[in-house]
Structure 1
Amino acid sequence: MSNVIWPSLPPDQLKKAEESTLQRELQWLLRSLQGTFTTLKDGLEECSTLLAPIEPGSTLVLSSMRSENVKGFITRVGSRIVKADIQLRFATLPPPPKQQSYSLRLSTQASAPSFMIPQLTNTRNLLAQALDVIDTGRWTGNSHDASFISGQLRLLLDLILEAKQSLKGSDELINKWYENPLDERTFDPPLPQNLALNLSISENAIVAHFRTLHLAQQNTPTSFTTEALSGLSIRQRLGLAARLPDHDESDRVFSFRGQEVRVREKARVESQDPSLMALMAKLNALEYGVKIARRALAAVMDIDDSEND
């Protein structure tokens, strides 16, 4: 089969015909991308709903797998923890008299600070920005300008990728647990001075780190060390070091609440969050849709799209 135009056109007319055809194809694609924007907006709104502060939220179990160190649950509504009941059994965190474990319960007082998860707050803000990008591409900007639409798709893809990365988390964020300690008044009774609790997101799961601390200068007489050893007998205090399990931070010194401290005991528990897993799946689909749109537009515009791979 031949694809030669008959009757044949002179080279100059053929070039004009090709340019005219390409321009019509570009305008058709730009019109169809308006429908793509609508579909992407629906998907982003579904993602935002998964992070919206809507009751009853997600109740997740926090339990250490091979020990009784951590047992309990938390309830997440949007990017905030609204309920928590956790039982800790650490050798360096003695429970109150007549109790078998140390209880952490979220304060219900109106003046108590909110227990926020910054990664989820950041993800929700990124989704809001992505929705603004789509509205700009549909209503505010020139929908017939291929360069403008290409730029909006690039910006939209960047925001989606950043939202995905926020849900995946990073080791750097987890390792800087000492920089922004949780307000003690978040719990009732307040967190003890020698306990650090950090909540983060890693691979769509809620990850909680519990650390008991002691001053790096052991001979410094402060309430920090007194509280850490209160409730322990002399025999327990003498034998404590030999029984403590090793961990990856035992030889490091951290600056925590203005004091140089070491980590005595450390526990890590995680709980998969179905809503966050669904959110990641939707973001993956949105990423794929945006890449397809960018690839099609780049082909018609005859520009390099290697960065889209």
Structure 2
Amino acid sequence: MSTLLHPPLPAPSLAAAESSTRTAELTWLLSSLQTTLASLKSGLEECADLLAPTEPGSTLVLSSLRSENLKGFITRVGTRITKGDIYLRLPSLPPPRGQNAYKLSLSTLPTASTIVLEQLTTTRTLINACLDVVDATRWTGDATNANFISGLLRLLHENISEAKAALKGWTDGQKAWHETPLPADTFSPPLPDTISFHLSISESSILLNVRTLETAYPVTGTNTPLSSTSFASSAAPSYTGFSLREKLAATLGVGRQVVHDEAHEIFTYKGQDVRVREKVRVESQDPSLMSAMAKLGALERCVVVWRRGLGVVMGEEGEGEEG
């Protein structure tokens, strides 16, 4: 019955029919992509708005888990940290006389250096590049050229993937904490060389690492460097009682317990070899960054689907499979 209703076409006619159908499908797909790109642009603009330097910004609470080692807040406006007060209670960082915590305050002077989150700068740059690509796809070039559209979709996918990776965490081009020390005038009073204050992005959250530092090879007058405990005992007197306990521990021959992952490493910081005495790591979820991350993930999946569909119609089934 089906053979009578749909007789098979001769081979030459079948090839011509397949080619005509593929051409019609490609024309329809390229036309529909122009409409779909409008919604993609809207999503990218929402991501750009979430990272825009809009006052009053996002104020984030910082607090160490199960301890009073670090408490405070920071305010993010776009890619910059504009305000912040951090209170530290660490054995290696005695507070000033009459105070129960060591305070770090971001300077509000117009001439002070500003903390810029390079990962957010990278993300904003890539999102703006995606918007330029969408405009180029919709308004310039040949919208009916499948190869042209395929190339632009590939570029969109790469840029969105890199923007998402920058919000997710460490990237290949990101420098380590000891390679990018903050200028002392970022804080008021200025940040001592014995403290490292490092902000970055991890899983669309603000990640703060505060480290107290000591010279890796203190001068002892001999060829034997001072131990960490010995260095601690020679530090400035503490009015919290911590330094006294360290001195007693050194006198009794009891070494300090290593409680962080960088205790046995040596870093070059501001031209000097240093060790990390103490390290506090605090994460604070940023709702705007989390929303941008989710939107970028959804946009990336959409672009992958479009690339895959276009690749199939063009006879390039392998295109767009990554991601």
Structure 2 length-normalised TM: 0.87
| 1:144 matched residue in structure 2 | 144
Letter in 2 for 1:118: E
Structure 1 residue 177: Cα displacement: 1.1
From 217, 226, 235, the counterpart of 1:229: 235
Q: Deviations over 1:179-203 (max 9, x none)?
A: 1111111111111110001001111
Letter in 2 for 1:68: E
Q: 2:88 matched to 1:88?
A: yes
Q: 2:272 matched to 1:266?
A: no
* Compared CA separation, residues 143 and 220, structure 1 to 2 (3 A): farther
Q: 2:217 matched to 1:217?
A: yes
CA distance in 2, matches of 1:50, 1:191: 31
1:227-306 equivalences under 5 Å are: 229-232=235-238, 235=244, 238-239=247-248, 242-243=255-256, 245-305=258-318
Tell me which stretches of 4 or more aligned residues in structure 1 moved more than 6 Å: 171-175
Contact 2:216 2:275 (C-alpha < 8 Å) held by counterparts: yes
CA distance in 2, matches of 1:28, 1:186: 56
CA distance in 2, matches of 1:176, 1:236: 33
Contact 2:307 2:319 (C-alpha < 8 Å) held by counterparts: no
Q: Deviations over 1:97-118 (max 9, x none)?
A: 1111111111010000111111
| 1:308 matched residue in structure 2 | 321
CA distance in 1, matches of 2:273, 2:4: 80
Give 3-state SS (helix, strand or coil) of 1:308's partner.
Answer: coil
CA distance in 2, matches of 1:122, 1:95: 37
Structure 1 length-normalised TM: 0.91
CA distance in 1, matches of 2:220, 2:171: 32
Structure 1 residue 305: Cα displacement: 2.3
CA distance in 2, matches of 1:4, 1:216: 90
1:173-184 equivalences under 5 Å are: 176-184=176-184
Q: 2:52 matched to 1:52?
A: yes
Letter in 1 for 2:128: A
CA distance in 2, matches of 1:47, 1:33: 21
Structure 1 residue 53: Cα displacement: 0.3
Contact 1:210 1:268 (C-alpha < 8 Å) held by counterparts: yes
CA RMSD of aligned residues (A): 2.5
| 2:28 matched residue in structure 1 | 28
Q: Deviations over 1:208-252 (max 9, x none)?
A: 00100010112279xxx89x9223388455247645652111111
Between the aligned residues of both structures, percent identity stands at 52
| 1:110 matched residue in structure 2 | 110
Give 3-state SS (helix, strand or coil) of 2:178's partner.
Answer: coil
Letter in 2 for 1:277: M
* Compared CA separation, residues 275 and 240, structure 1 to 2 (3 A): farther
Structure 1 residue 296: Cα displacement: 1.2
* Compared CA separation, residues 42 and 239, structure 1 to 2 (3 A): farther
* Compared CA separation, residues 220 and 154, structure 1 to 2 (3 A): farther
| Unpaired runs of at least 5, structure 2 | 222-230
Contact 1:91 1:240 (C-alpha < 8 Å) held by counterparts: no
* Compared CA separation, residues 2 and 161, structure 1 to 2 (3 A): farther
Letter in 2 for 1:34: Q
Give 3-state SS (helix, strand or coil) of 2:111's partner.
Answer: coil
Contact 1:43 1:286 (C-alpha < 8 Å) held by counterparts: yes
Give 3-state SS (helix, strand or coil) of 2:177's partner.
Answer: coil
Letter in 1 for 2:86: I
Structure 1 residue 4: Cα displacement: 8.2
| Unpaired runs of at least 5, structure 1 | none
| 2:224 matched residue in structure 1 | none
Deviates more, 1:235-244 or 1:15-24: 235-244
* Compared CA separation, residues 3 and 141, structure 1 to 2 (3 A): farther
Aligned pair count reads: 305
Q: 2:219 matched to 1:206?
A: no
CA distance in 2, matches of 1:5, 1:179: 75
